[in-house]
Each structure stands twice: as structure tokens, then as C-alpha cells.
Structure 1
Amino acid sequence: MAKRKENEAGSSTGHRADALRALGVLKTATADQIQRLSSPHLTYRHTTKDTAAKRKEARTASHRGALNDLRRHGLSVDGGRTRGGEEVRLLTKDGLAAAGLELDRGPEEMGGMPESAGRSGASHAMTVNETVIAMIPPKPDLDLVAGEPAEAVAAAQAWVDAPDGIGSITSYAAEVALPSTGTWKNPGVGCAWADIALVAPEAGLPLLFIEADNCTEDASVIALKFDKYMRHFHRKAKDTDGQDKPMWRTRWSAPDPQWGDATHPPVLLVFNQVGSGPRCSR
């Protein structure tokens, strides 16, 4: 069957939607990360190929094609490469709008335009993405693994039998502005930016903010981030009923606090062992 001219890379509508959803949440990602999030069953295919590189090339082919077609449509752009040499993709303004439709999120919920993180290796962005994948983590559809070698089927089954993670890709948002001045759409200088916001009430987490650290920042720098969080949590704004309430409550419908005496959502700090700081060697 001939490929449609508008999708010369031969991608399917489903794979393009996968890429839009993932990039709409993560802002920047590799085809490998999009595949593991969207089609985890592909991880257990092509296992008979000679090398890990060939297996990776085969399992990510569909989503690389989707990303190439999105680029042809002006919805994504190349964003450089990770330190490991993988291509990083970003959304354009039109791509961000298209992703919002896929995620059923308004413009203010989508955040701003991502920058070319790959120019500097994208180490922090990759850590954020891997944190999201580790917290979900997506499970393969065993029906889509049927017929693969016994070892691959067993590995997929073990992953399915492992404890469930938290939420799905649509439960998360990355690079979320928490303004202490300005607005949601145009936050003031010096506001907090949550690496990840998680909304998963079905898992007992109506709202959780996550900071991912590569062990490259001093403890005092990290402490300043929490000061910015508190400035946002203390900010009041009028809600639709005309009453003043914490600004964060005008965006998220979290119930009254369930975390002891806390008057704000919890913030989770995740360390990834990349830097050479002393806390990474403990």
C-alpha cells in the first residue's frame, strides 16, 4: 500500500496521537521514551535481533515515523540530542495546541513553548521523563506479545504481574508554573516551576508536585525552590464563587487536606544519581 503523501514516514494516526500526548505532557522526549510510555508491548518484540541497538531501532520505528510525520506537518521540531546521542523532539506552537486537544487540556494547562533542551544534553528533561515512566510504569498488552519467543513472553508477564504504578500519562504534567506573581498564563519572574504535577485521586493522590534533581545542585539551591513553592501556596485568588482561596485550589480540585495538618499539597523530591555531589554517594 502506498504511503499517503502527507504522512510520508508511514505513521499511523494512533502513533501520531501517542507522540502528541507524550510531548504535550513531557514537553521534550525521545522516540524510545514515547514508545515505552505508549506501546510497552513493543519492548518485548524484535528480541531475536542480534544487538540491543538493532532491537531498539526496531521497537521504536513506528514512533520515530510518527515524529517525522509530525515534523512534516509543522507540529514538532528537532531539539538536539541527549548525552547518549538520542534525538530529542519538541512541539511547535501548533503542536502544543494539537496536543492539548489530545489531552483535553486548555492552553493555560499546557504550559509554555519548550526550549531546545537537547543543545545541552537534556539531562534534566530526561530525568523528569524517566521519573514519570518509573512512577506509572506502563504495562504491556499480553495479547500483543503472543507468538514472541518464550523468554520475551515471560518477561512481559512478569512486568504485568508486578505492582501497579500510579496513573497514566494523562495523570501527569511537566514544567508547571506556580506563580507567586503574575498569572497562570504569564507567571511573574522568580515563580516556582514544578518539574512534575501528578493528579491521581484514584491512588489517594489528589495532587502531588515532584522535583527531580540530578545531584548537581547544592542543598541551599534546592531549599530556595521550596521557598518559591511556599510563596505560591500562600497566594490567594478569587474563585468562580467570588471567594478568596489559595490560588492552587482555583486550578486543581483537590479535596481538603489529607496530609496531617498540611494546608498545601505535598512536594516529593527525587534524586537521580548523575552528579558527583556528596548526597549521591550515600
Structure 2
Amino acid sequence: MAGKRKTNEAGSTNNLRADVLCVLGVLKAATADQIQRLSSPHLPFRHTTKETAAARKEARTASHRGALNDLRRHGLSVDGGRTRGGEEVRLLTKDGLAAAGLELDRGPEEMGGMPKSAGRSGASHAMTVNETVIALIRPKPDLHLVAGEPAEAIEAAQAWIDAPDGTGSITSYATEVALPATGTWKNPGVGCAWADLVLIAPEVGLPLLFIEADNCTEDAAKIAAKFDKYMRHFHRTVKDTDGQDKPMWRTRWSAPDPQWGDATHPPVLLVFNQVGKRPALNQMKKLAALTREHWQGQGADGFHLYKGKMPIVATTLELLREHGPCGTRRT
């Protein structure tokens, strides 16, 4: 309401705190910079007259850092260490996760788990997952919020608006989602797969997409083993509400019914971030060979049949950032 915008100790508005809760509710661990880029994409086009990049970053993230401090004072977030670049990582507490669930309109079982090694060892994997989300969404600035800035800043904002679109919004994604081969959604059995990201964007023809992020540090065989776990989950059936057996994943997510008997499993996007020493292209080639049984179709009368297969697409974070998910370049 007018006149009651700043109601918290660090000066953040309730709306800004809600934005931060939504982003952290999905990502679970993030920096103020990542939260700002997702929730207020116009801010990089303001404060452009400050002399240094550090000063510009300080200015554009100030309001989100204030909101994070207010959430911490209310017991909804905690400090989670620092990235390898020295940026502070923030995590949600149990109460914070519950508050985020209310903002996202998601139940506890839909919120997912905490990211691997969150806040420890630089949280490198969690940071790559976050950057993958940003590269996929490609948040567009509102030109009205850049009005009055220097002409160069307005032109840069317009160029970003005109660039290839992204896919979905922060509410289209979920992180660390269990895919149980045994147990339940709420209490998955030991050894189940945990999807780094799940994207639901039927408005662009993606009713369900699983996404895995890798920093080029793990052996290809270890990554391939995760796809074995994916397949175990896809093969699992349970009784639906009509008493009929149904693939377990279809009891949670909607997807088109199979046509012509050629039913594939949901697709998986594998995103490599060249942080480690293993070349991304080599990783892709090794994984293609190691997972062939899961994705390769069978030839029949001049056609390839993919019944029971799992489509796997691989790219790099660099390409996603440059061209977006709807760009013309692919790996």
C-alpha cells in the first residue's frame, strides 16, 4: 500500500521480500546477484554511470541484499558460505522454505531438496544450476523501469529485449526433485535419482523437461549411472486413482499421451559448464556412447522407433547464455 512500502529493518519492501523468497524457494541457495538478475532484470541497466563494475554491482544488488538481511532477521534465511569468487550464498531455513512454498503455491512435497554441497566448497554445482536457470529464462527488463537512464543504457536494454527469448519464469522450475525407483515421492528410496532441475512450460511446447548440470569435473561413467537411475524411475508403475497401473511420473506431471504406440520417456537436457578440466565436447561423446541403450532408436522399414527411449540433448552453458534455448545454434 502507498506509504507503507518499507516495513522491514533493512528497508526492503514486502513485495521485494516475496520476490526473493520465490527465487530462493526454487533455487534453494543463491547469491544476491543471481536473485537480482532473475527478479529485477532492469537493474543492470541502471547505475551505469558509476565508475567501476564493482560499484555498479554493489548498487544494483543493494535492495536484494537488504531483503535477504530482513529474511535472516526473521529466521527465514541463513548465510551459506561463499562462492569460489567470494560472493555470499544465502540459504532458506525450514521456516523459510515453508514461507517460499506459500509464495509459490507449492506443497512441501513439491519444494524439492536442498542442493548438493550447498554453501560448502564454493557451492559450485548449485551456482551452475542457478546460472542454467538464468540462461534458460533470459529475464527481460521492463523499459519503463529504465526510463531516464543514459541513452546507451536504454539501447542496451532494448537490445536485450530484442534478443532471442528464454523459456518460462522462475515459477516454471523446480530443483533437486526426487525420482524414486523405490519408496514414495515424500520418502524416496535409497539410490534414487535427483533431478537437478525440472522445467514445466507447456506454453512453449515443453510439458516436462528434466535438466542436469555438470561442471566437467565428474567422470562420464558416473554421470551415465544417473541416467540408469532415471530409467529405473521411468519404468516404475503405480496404481493411479482409477485403479489402473500408470507410469509413476505421470501421476505427478502431465504430458501428451503417446501416439502411434511410439511412447518415449520425458526428455533430459544436459548442460555442461566448462569449469573442470574435462573438455565438454569429450564428455558429450563419452556420455553418448555410455547411454546409447537409453536413447538410440531401432530401425524398422526405413523408420526409427523410439518406444521406451529417453531423449537426451546436450549443450553448454556458454551456448545457452549466448543464444538462449530458442536460438539457432545447438551442440
Structures share fold, TM-score greater than 0.5: yes
**Over aligned residues, Cα RMSD in angstroms?**
2.0
Q: Match for residue 214 of structure 1? A: 215
| Post-superposition offset of 1:31 | 0.6
CA distance in 2 between counterparts of 1:262 and 1:26 reads: 31
Structure 1 stretch displaced more, 82-91 or 232-241: 232-241
Q: Alpha-carbon deviation of 1:115?
A: 6.8
Q: Give the letter for the 2:17 counterpart.
A: R
- Gap runs ≥5 in structure 1: none
User: Residue in 2 aligned with 1:166?
Assistant: 167
| CA distance 1:187–1:94, shift in 2 (3 Å) | same
Q: Work out whether 1:233 is the aligned partner of 2:237.
A: no
Letter in 2 for 1:218: D
Q: Which amino acid aligns with 1:63?
A: H
- The residue number in structure 1 matching 2:78 is 77
Match of 1:109 in 2: 110
Q: With the length of structure 1 as denominator, give the TM-score of the two structures.
A: 0.95
Contact 2:116 2:126 in 1 (8 A): no
In structure 2, how many angstroms separate the alpha carbons of the residues matched to 1:204 and 1:258? 16
CA deviation digits over 1:135-154, x for unaligned, max 9? 01100000000000111111
What is the aligned partner in structure 1 of residue 204 from structure 2? 203
CA distance in 2, matches of 1:155, 1:133: 18
In structure 1, the residue matched to 2:195 is 194
State how many pairs are aligned: 281
- Secondary structure of 1:80's counterpart equals strand
| 1:264 counterpart SS class | coil
1:60 counterpart SS class:
helix
1:275 aligns with 2:304: no
Note the C-alpha offset of 1:242.
Answer: 2.0
Q: Secondary structure at the match of 1:163?
A: coil
The separation in 1 between residues aligned to 2:144 and 2:94, in whole angstroms, is 37
Contact 1:80 1:116 in 2 (8 A): no
Q: Distance in 2 between matches of 1:81 and 1:258?
A: 49
Please report how far the alpha carbon of residue 212 of structure 1 lies from its aligned counterpart in structure 2 after TM superposition.
0.5
- Between 272-281 and 40-49, report the one with greater CA deviation: 272-281
Deviation at 1:241, TM superposition (A): 1.9
1:113 to partner: Cα distance = 4.7
Q: Is the 8 A contact 1:75 1:91 kept in 2?
A: yes
Question: Are the aligned partners of 1:178 and 1:229 in contact in 2 as well (CA < 8 Å)?
Answer: yes
Offset, 1:110: 0.4
Contact residue 91 and residue 113 of structure 1 kept, 8 A = no
Deviation at 1:107, TM superposition (A): 0.8
Cα distance in 2 for residues equivalent to 1:95 and 1:259 = 46
Is 1:214–1:271's contact at 8 Å kept on the other side of the alignment? yes
Query: Partner of 1:129 in structure 2?
Result: 130
In 1, are the aligned partners of 2:5 and 2:14 still within 8 Å (CA)? no
1:86 is aligned to 87
Deviation at 1:261, TM superposition (A): 3.1
Matched with 1:58 is 59
Tell whether the 8 Å contact from 1:215 to 1:280 is kept in structure 2 after alignment. Answer: no
Deviations 1:85-123 (A, max 9, x none): 001011111111111111111110002355762221011
**TM-score when scaled to structure 2?**
0.81
Query: How far is the alpha carbon of 1:259 from its aligned partner?
Result: 11
**Distance of aligned partners of 1:58 and 1:257 in 2 relative to their CA distance in 1, 3 Å threshold:** farther
Contact 1:92/1:113, CA 8 A, preserved across alignment: no
Indicate conservation of the 8 Å contact 1:28/1:117, yes or no. Answer: yes
For 1:127 and 1:63, the matched residues in 2 are separated by: 20
1:254 corresponding residue in structure 2: 255
**Which runs of at least 4 in structure 1 moved beyond 6 Å after TM superposition?**
1-4
1:8, CA displacement in angstroms?
Answer: 0.9
Percent of aligned positions that are identical: 85
Question: How much does 1:262 deviate?
Answer: 4.1
Q: How big is each residue's C-alpha offset from its partner over 1:46-72, in whole Å with a ceiling of 9 and x where there is no partner? A: 011111011001000111011110011
Distance in 2 (alpha carbons) for counterparts of 1:172 and 1:115: 17
Pairing of 1:1-80 with structure 2 (within 5 A): 7-80=8-81
**Contact kept? 1:90, 1:114, Cα under 8 Å:** no
Corresponding position of 2:328 = none
| Cα distance change on mapping 1:215 and 1:114 into 2, 3 Å | closer
* Counterpart amino acid of residue 46 in structure 1: H
1:98 aligns with 2:87: no
Question: Structure 1 counterpart of 2:257, which letter?
Answer: D
- Output the CA distance in 2 between the equivalents of 1:278 and 1:78: 33
